[in-house]
Amino acid sequence: MQGSPNPKLIANALACRRGDRLLFRGLSFELGEGEALHITGANGTGKTTLIRALGGLTTPYAGSVICKGELGLLDERTGLDPDQPLGKSLDFWQRIDGCRDPSGALKVLGLEPLLDVPVRYLSTGQRKRAGLAALLNRGVPIWLLDEPLSGLDVAAIEQVTALIALHIGGGGTALIASHQTLAIDGLRTLAIEDFAPMDEPA
Amino acid sequence: MIGALLKRDLGKFFPFTGGGAALPVVFFVAVAMLYPFAVGPDQELLGRTGGGIVWIAALLAAILPLEKLVAQDIELGTFDQLRLRGFTEEIMMAVRLLAHWLSFGPPLILAAFPAAALLALDGPSLHLLLLGLLAGTPGLAAIGLIIAALTASLRAGAALSGLMLIPLALPILIFGAGALARQDQASLGFVAAISLTLVAIAPFAAGAAIRAARDV
């Protein structure tokens, strides 16, 4: 993996709110090189909010995040321009990231035949794979994945799972929020519901 | 990296390329074209009031691109992804401001030539109009960007942004069109000063606005 050799992602007693509602509190974990954490929980329990807080996109209500190494985020909003063909859309991010050889990721994810198709015509699964290609091309050590398997067919699920496993095997770190099961060796699991506030206000 | 961002933003907003809209320029020329039909072909009246009409058209043309200016990229997650790559919101908004101005300021200034001909403006008036637009359009772009960022997460944002731009753009209109009425270049200094202040504030105000929109 490029970037810092020893990636770390640490959450210290995190608490996050959405609007006035406290989603979770006292959530702590520590992830290092080659480690992955699977965040489970029903819809609306705060998985996405947690990921956005870890990525520094929102400020947590309490607690702190320590992050050593560059972060990459894959969520349902891939930042790919719907009016542009996929190739041009990915090109923009490659230029921003200074990625020299994007073809590897495109080939692995089977995106090469789709490069001329405008992003708005892509299916959910294709778009997700395109987002993953952009993430792969960044070569960052820490992955934040929000529902990486949603909208994917069986073959694509296997492929994406294998890519995540490869990333971890190469010394990377990954945090995956998903309500689906992930077949990855050595994956730790954290149920976000365990950190929901006890005295739910009526 | 910033060059790549500017290139993308320009491709998105510049008229006649890709997804960019030529609407503001067409709108601007259309107003200049229709005005003589509405008030009649009195050269003296047209010359006296035409400059003001061009300014009103410029101000209204500045409203047209606002809807797409910020909201779409918030929805697409572009700003989130850029943030994770180390761009600050202020840099993103400064680049966007430059792209927004380039895509409607210079085209509007060019369109002022046919507009001036249609409205029978004389040489000195055209000179003041061009200088005024050059000084005023960056300010209009800055107001537009701030408003677009502030209203991006609102459902009726597009309608609201038009309403909000008008009072904020009044000083630019008063001094810009006033220079034409009095045939005096001095008040264009005010236009330039207002524009510069707005341009300096805009990246910070708009940057704070899109950060705040994430927490909604």
Radius of gyration of chain A (CA): 17
Q: What is the mean pLDDT of each run of 10 residues along chain A (202 residues)?
A: 71 90 91 92 89 91 91 90 90 86 84 92 91 90 92 89 91 91 87 82 49
Query: Would you give the DSSP letter of residue A45?
Result: S
Does residue A82 sit at the B interface (CB-CB below 8 Å)? yes
Q: Is A183 inside a domain boundary?
A: yes
Is B78 in CB contact (< 8 Å) with chain A? Answer: yes
Q: What is the DSSP string of A70-87?
A: -EEEE-S-----TTSBHH
A124 CA: distance to closest CA in chain B (Å): 14
Contact B64, B21 (CB under 8 A): yes
Q: How many domains does chain A have?
A: 1
pLDDT recorded at residue A150: 86
* Assigned domain for A51 exists: yes
A59 contacts in B (CB within 8 Å)?
A: 215
Q: Check if the beta carbon of residue A111 is closer than 8 Å to that of residue A123.
A: no
Q: Tell me the shortest Cα–Cα distance from B139 to chain A, in angstroms.
A: 28
Does A98 sit within 8 Å of B76, measured CB to CB? no
Question: Best mutation site among B12, B68, B80 for testing chain A: the one with the most A CBs within 10 Å?
Answer: B80
- Distance (Å, rounded) from C-alpha B65 to C-alpha B57? 14
ipTM for this prediction:
0.90
A132/B contact by beta carbon, under 8 A: no
Chain B residues touching A57 at Cβ < 8 A: 80, 83-84, 214
- Give pLDDT, residue B36: 92
Q: What percent of chain B has pLDDT over 90?
A: 59
Q: Is residue B51 a contact partner of residue B181, using CB atoms and an 8 Å limit?
A: yes
| Chain-chain contact of A78 with B76 (C-beta, under 8 angstroms) | yes
The pLDDT of residue A200: 56
Q: What is the pLDDT of residues B15-55, one digit of tens each?
A: 665 545 678 888 899 999 999 999 988 888 998 899 999 99
Give pLDDT, residue A130.
92
A141 close to A4: Cβ distance less than 8 angstroms: yes
Let me know if residue A93 belongs to a domain: no
A116 Cβ contact partners less than 8 Å away, ≥ 6 residues apart? A85, A86, A87
Whole-number pLDDT of residue B17 = 59
So what's the pLDDT on residue A202? 45
> Nearest CA to B104 among B174, B39, B13?
B13
With beta carbons less than 8 A apart as the criterion, state whether A131 and A73 touch. no
User: DSSP strand E in chain A: where?
Assistant: 8-18, 21-31, 36-40, 62-68, 71-74, 142-146, 173-177, 188-191
Q: What pLDDT, in 10s, does the model give residues B72-86?
A: 899 899 999 999 998
Burial class for B124, CB neighbours closer than 10 Å (0-12, 13-18, 19+):
exposed
Structural domain includes residue A190: yes
Going from N- to C-terminal start, the domains of chain B cover 2-214
In this prediction, residues B88-106 reach a mean pLDDT of 94
The tens digit of pLDDT for each residue in B148-198 reads 999 988 877 778 888 889 999 999 999 999 998 888 889 999 999 999 999
| Inter-chain CB proximity B77 and A92 less than 8 Å | no
Q: What is the CATH number of the domain that holds A64?
A: 3.40.50.300
Residue A156 forms part of a structural domain: no
User: What is the nearest CA distance from B204 to chain A, expressed in angstroms?
Assistant: 17
**How is residue A189 written in tokens?**
């699991």
Angle (CA) A159-A160-A163 rounded to 5° is 90
- Nearest residue to B163 (alpha-carbon basis) of B73, B70, B94, B66: B66
- Eight-state DSSP code of residue A118: B
Tell me if chain A has a CB within 8 Å of the CB of B184.
no
State the burial class of residue B56 (Cβ atoms within 10 Å of its Cβ: 0-12, 13-18, 19+).
middle
Domain range for A179: 1-70+143-148+173-202
Put simply, the answer to whether B80 touches A73 (Cβ < 8 Å) is: yes
